């Protein structure tokens, strides 16, 4: 299988493209090969796989991140439907701190988005019945899980859908970017 990587608008966030072999039966894609990822300079040790299914278009999940001592990188793949996937830079020493990347992922395009550990992640579904699989470099630990409210105007995220969104009570109650940014800039990773 052929795997290529390209940097997105924030170079630490990567788009991983892989080949799709199609014949009369359908297709075959190799979503992860340890050697390929290592050769491309990406994490090759993922410790947990998650799957989410969203019944309705316009479902928001995120923006989530894990605090120290355990940052979590993710490799996001859409296996049904499509999403607008967002990575928000949480690195206070970075020139892109507080900026984001948004990229559409879909079942029809053989690609994945790699999101480094020091980024918040979220997405909105663009189709009904959307299914997302993501690999994580660390197991999820609820006591280390934090977030930023998805529609904070200070972030300027150009979500493609803003009406009739569905999100969890927890995600709706996440703190504003200014609050999270102040804690991160102070050197504390426990927001």
- 27 CB-side CA count, 13 A: 14
Looking at residue 142, what is its pLDDT?
84
Segment 122-168, tens digit of pLDDT = 999 999 999 999 999 988 888 888 999 999 999 999 999 877 899 99
Q: Say whether 64 is catalytic.
A: yes
Total tally of structural domains belonging to the chain = 1
Mean pLDDT in the chain? Answer: 91
Query: Is pLDDT at 121 greater than 80 in this prediction?
Result: yes
Pair type for strands 20-23 and 119-125: unpaired
- 24 CB-side CA count, 13 A: 0
Residue 169: CATH number of its domain: 2.60.120.10
Please indicate, yes or no, if residue 30 is contained in any of the structural domains.
yes
Closest CA to 155 of 93, 98, 95, 80: 98
Bond before 129 cis per omega within 30 degrees: no
What percent of the chain clears pLDDT 90, i.e. is strictly above it?
Answer: 69
Q: Say whether 56 is catalytic.
A: no
In angstroms, how far is the first alpha carbon of the chain from the final one?
41
- Determine the Cα–Cα distance for residues 132 and 83; give it in Å rounded to an integer: 9
Q: Print the domain residue range for 47.
A: 3-185
Looking at residue 191, what is its pLDDT?
44
Please indicate, yes or no, if residue 23 is contained in any of the structural domains.
yes
- Determine the Cα–Cα distance for residues 48 and 46; give it in Å rounded to an integer: 6
Residue in 64, 100, 114, 121 annotated catalytic: 64
Looking at residue 188, what is its pLDDT?
60
- 112 CB-side CA count, 13 A: 26
When computed from its CA atoms, the radius of gyration of the chain, rounded to whole angstroms, is 16
Residue in 18, 21, 134, 188 annotated catalytic: 134
Q: What is the pTM of this model?
A: 0.91
Please indicate, yes or no, if residue 11 is contained in any of the structural domains.
yes
DSSP 59: B
């Amino acid at each position: 299988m052929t795997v290529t990587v390209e940097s997105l608008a924030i170079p630490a966030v990567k788009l991983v493209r892989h080949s799709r072999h199609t014949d009369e039966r359908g297709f075959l894609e190799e979503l992860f090969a340890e050697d390929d990822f290592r050769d491309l300079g990406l994490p090759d040790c993922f410790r947990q796989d998650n799957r989410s299914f969203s019944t309705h278009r316009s479902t928001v999940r995120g923006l989530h991140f894990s605090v120290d001592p355990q940052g979590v990188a993710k490799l996001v793949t859409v296996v049904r439907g499509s999403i607008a996937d967002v990575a928000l830079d949480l690195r206070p020493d970075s020139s892109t701190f507080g900026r984001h990347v948004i990229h559409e992922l879909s079942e029809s395009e053989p690609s994945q988005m790699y999101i480094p550990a020091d980024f918040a992640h979220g997405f909105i579904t663009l189709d009904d019945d959307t299914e997302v699989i993501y690999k994580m470099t660390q197991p999820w630990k609820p006591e280390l899980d934090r977030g930023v409210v998805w529609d904070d105007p200070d972030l300027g995220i150009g979500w493609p859908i803003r009406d009739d969104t569905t999100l969890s009570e927890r995600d709706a109650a996440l703190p504003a970017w200014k609050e999270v940014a102040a804690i991160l800039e102070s050197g504390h990773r426990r927001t």
